[in-house]
Structure 1
Amino acid sequence: MTDKPGKKKQKPPAPVTSRQTSGVPARVAAHELIARVLFDQISLDEALLACEPMLRPLETRDRAFARAIAATSLRRLGQIEALLAGFLEKPLPERAKRAGIILIAAAAELLFLGVKPHAAVNAAVGAAALDHKTRPLKNLVNAIARRIDREGKEIVEAQDAEKLNTPAWAWESWQRAYGEETARAIASAHLKEPPLDFSVKEDAKGWAARLEGTVLPTGSVRLAKTASVEKLPGFQEGGWWVQDAAAALPAKMLGDVKGKDVLDLCAAPGGKTAQLAAAGARVTALDKSSSRLARIRENLKRLSLEAELISADALRWKPERSFPLILLDAPCSATGTARRHPDVLHLKSAGDIAKLADLQFRLLSKALGFLAPGGTLIYCTCSLEEAEGPAQIEKLLRNRKDIARLPLTAAEIGEDADALAPLITAEGDLRTLPAQFESLGGLDGFYAARLKKLA
């Protein structure tokens, strides 16, 4: 149902008019978001930007609802497609692929979002009636949606949710790396909406109290429920920034950075730049995307923090000096962020991992050229794939006798060493998994290694 034709430019979606039936505009926006991800192969974040003309006229709650439908549809896509395959006598024709999107979204509403059946079914039929390609299929949409309501819950309860919602290449990769039990736990964690984490400039306990959150063993502040970030206490005054608890750990591996020069390579979206600047470092943040650097600049201004921002390709950049401390957050598959970005697993393939691993090794080798003798470099990725993590370090150490691994201890990344010990590998690297801290809401998947250039 979600065959991916070649990318083609689409016109910005038009706003949905008020003459449509209740609840339809939010659904039509959700359908557009899902289609952009599955057919145009762009991220959900990019789809949200592309669909801004359609989303802007909606009320805040309807915009949030449209995103929830899209995210849930992508998170549970394997289960939903297996269900629909059993209900449809034959696959929908290419010209009717939008009807398939409508049914995917309706299933997400009925089976996983707890929407009242009459509302979900009527809105699905109403959405089908709006498009001349799906209008002839509105009776089919109605019949299938009603069948989903009648029979769907029993079917999905019997499904292997973890395996169905994970692409085969990723499932096999995680099994090889972590074993069947942990691979299943990772896939299970991806099916849950993640909590919201903040890094704070100071006084984590105080901010946790103000935000009605908790302080994690890592030192991050976590909110149990989602919220409009801009309306929370401390946003305007710059007391904190959004950053997953796992993403905040690699910068800590540099130790005390106060008054020291730190190069932050591939710096966007900027959470680590802010973290280092807040710790008193003199930060040089480099990224090849000038638009993403502009967002870092805006965030630093809100936080009253400073950093030197450079727009350049790290593979071609030629600095005038070396740096004693470097943080390289290399571009990666981002499979460790799938619980926050459920589109990730639908946009990547095993072939992408190999290409990214090649880029990562070239960036790592280049970054070591920027490192002063005796200096420390942190290599990290938000990936669960061994090829993008430990395999890179092992390859490097086989080929570079002037580089040594500096093992990490749990006490270096938080006060509760016992709670943090499972995040440290036998080699002394950092490895977080979505299934860890399960009772607290989980973590993004991250890998980081600390390296020293021998004098």
Structure 2
Amino acid sequence: MLAGEHFAPLSPADLADGRDRALANRLITTALRRHGQLNFILHALLDKGMPGKSGTFEAVLRLSVAQLIFLPDLGAHSALFLAVEAVKRDPKARHLAGLMNAVLRTAQANSAKFSMLSDDLLLPETFGDTWLAAYGEDAIIAFEAALLAGAPLDLTLKEDDPELRDALGAVPLMADSVRIDARDKPVEALPGYSDGRWWVQDAAAAIPARLLDLPASSRVLDLCAAPGGKTAQLVKAGYAVTALDADAKRMERLAGNLERLDYSAQTVVADATTYAPEEPFAGIVLDAPCSATGTFRRHPEVLWHRSLSDIAGRVRLQRNLLRNAAKCLAPGGVLIYCVCSLEPDEGEAQAAWVLANLPELELLPVTAEQLLGLPQAITSEGTVRTHPGMAPGAQNGGMDGFFVARFRRRS
């Protein structure tokens, strides 16, 4: 497994200029997106398997094989030379410099064969069968393409401003979401950032808060709120918003984001499973902690850092959060439950669990009129399911995998 900590030394301060940073980002991103194929290649190249207690050897090897096989424009000589030099500088890996050289030369000799590996290797078996059953073969093919392509940048605009859209080169998606291609540009350098005219938010992540559909000035609770995208949406909609999260550092980030946007909300640092407000809320948005598998276009590492036991633990937490959210909701109030997960256990199965175990809540189906531009995301039960093979209207680039269910507390 390609552990994230292997790349910690590659900080911007260690790199000479923007070109070096772009190159490092390209190498790391390619290695992460091609992780499944690299597993296959390394298994074929290492007769005795990956050496144990070998420092940075595996990380350097993965980056170098990714360059040789999938980034041939960068040149084979630099991949070989730099890889050997890198392991020589690591006391825990220097004794493997000869093995590094031999393995990479074998990879180079077989690069044509390895470059033709099937995309079926891109997604881990942990999720493959479940996703195939849930979404179908065409969607899985789209998932593989989305993993390799990465994600464009989606923004939520504070106001509908044609001049700002033109300055950003933005394409409208749905409601106040737009999409730009800015993968090589710092977000802070984009027009409108410094004066708080938009915030970064995937088109799928912007759906849940829009479905609250309550009168202006309604008291609304944003549970598990940080870093604050949905909080900003709720403030924009005119609600009296309380944003809650258990992580004080993340709440500082939320407060900073709201300050940039010139928005305000009451902030609370507390455990969302036990929080007890003085009076119930008319609306609650619960963006529950989850496996985050729906974000793999921009975070490919999540595919390899999740296990079935991890998901089972998150399912238990989500149910505890749902129980307490129901207690915090006023009669007639609306609860939005959402997760950025492709796992049915965290989405569809949780909605069914709510209806079977929380009799005070009833499903409030989402209609096509409430999801203009994306009717295909509405399920037969009236919940919402998006995935990376889906996009608003005729746009390309997909969207995050999200599940959204809307409930109402019985009077």
Q: TM-score, normalised by structure 1?
A: 0.84
Q: Distance in 1 between matches of 2:175 and 2:399?
A: 11
Name 1:29's counterpart in structure 2. none
Name 1:66's counterpart in structure 2. 24
Alignment pair present for 1:425 and 2:379? yes
Compared CA separation, residues 140 and 223, structure 1 to 2 (3 A): same
Identity rate of aligned residues, in percent?
Answer: 43
Alignment pair present for 1:294 and 2:265? no
Q: Distance in 2 between matches of 1:239 and 1:192?
A: 28
Q: Distance in 1 between matches of 2:24 and 2:283?
A: 43
Name 1:347's counterpart in structure 2. 305
Q: How many residues align?
A: 406
**Shift of residue 126, structure 1, vs aligned partner:** 1.9
Q: Distance in 2 between matches of 1:246 and 1:326?
A: 18
Name 1:117's counterpart in structure 2. 76
Q: Distance in 2 between matches of 1:344 and 1:265?
A: 23
Compared CA separation, residues 76 and 37, structure 1 to 2 (3 A): farther
Alignment pair present for 1:216 and 2:160? no
> What is the aligned counterpart of 1:130 among 79, 84, 89?
89
**Shift of residue 407, structure 1, vs aligned partner:** 1.0
SS at match of 2:267: strand
Q: Distance in 1 between matches of 2:86 and 2:251?
A: 39
Q: Which runs of 4+ in 1 moved over 4 A?
A: none
Q: Distance in 2 between matches of 1:37 and 1:356?
A: 23
**Shift of residue 211, structure 1, vs aligned partner:** 0.5
Name 1:44's counterpart in structure 2. none
> What is the aligned counterpart of 2:49 among 81, 85, 91?
91
Q: Distance in 2 between matches of 1:387 and 1:79?
A: 27
Show CA shifts across 1:86-123 (max 9, x none). Answer: 12232132032522221100122233344222222222
Show CA shifts across 1:330-385 (max 9, x none). Answer: 00000000111111111110111111111101101110110000010100000001
Write the letter of the residue equivalent to 1:217: M
Q: Distance in 1 between matches of 2:25 and 2:215?
A: 39
Q: Distance in 1 between matches of 2:335 and 2:408?
A: 6
Residue correspondence of structure 1 range 3-402 to structure 2 within 5 A: 34-37=2-5, 51=9, 54-58=11-15, 59-96=17-54, 98-113=56-71, 114-157=73-116, 159-161=117-119, 163-203=120-160, 205-226=162-183, 227-255=185-213, 258-402=216-360
Q: Distance in 2 between matches of 1:267 and 1:327?
A: 9
**Shift of residue 239, structure 1, vs aligned partner:** 0.5
Write the letter of the residue equivalent to 2:404: A
Write the letter of the residue equivalent to 1:118: H
| 1:257/1:276 contact within 8 Å kept | no
Q: Distance in 1 between matches of 2:399 and 2:340?
A: 11
Q: TM-score, normalised by structure 2?
A: 0.93
Q: What do you get for the CA RMSD once the two structures are aligned?
A: 2.0
Q: Distance in 1 between matches of 2:74 and 2:321?
A: 47
Q: Distance in 1 between matches of 2:4 and 2:332?
A: 48
| 1:378/1:451 contact within 8 Å kept | yes
**Shift of residue 235, structure 1, vs aligned partner:** 0.8
Name 2:408's counterpart in structure 1. 452
| 1:434/1:444 contact within 8 Å kept | yes
